[in-house]
Amino acid sequence: MLPGPLNPHGRAKPLTPRDEFDELVLTLVAALTARWPVELADVEFATEDLPPPPGEWSDGAGTFSCLIRSHGHTPARVVVFRRPVELRAKTRLERLALVNEVLFEHVADLLGRDPQDL
Domains in the chain: boundaries:
17-110
43-63 pLDDT, tens digit each: 999 999 998 776 655 454 458
Q: How far is CA 30 from the centre of its chain?
A: 10
93-118 pLDDT, tens digit each: 999 999 999 999 999 999 999 988 87
Confidence of residue 2 (pLDDT cuts 50, 70, 90): low
CATH classification number, 17-110, choose in 3.30.2010.20, 3.50.50.60, 3.40.190.10, 3.30.360.10: 3.30.2010.20
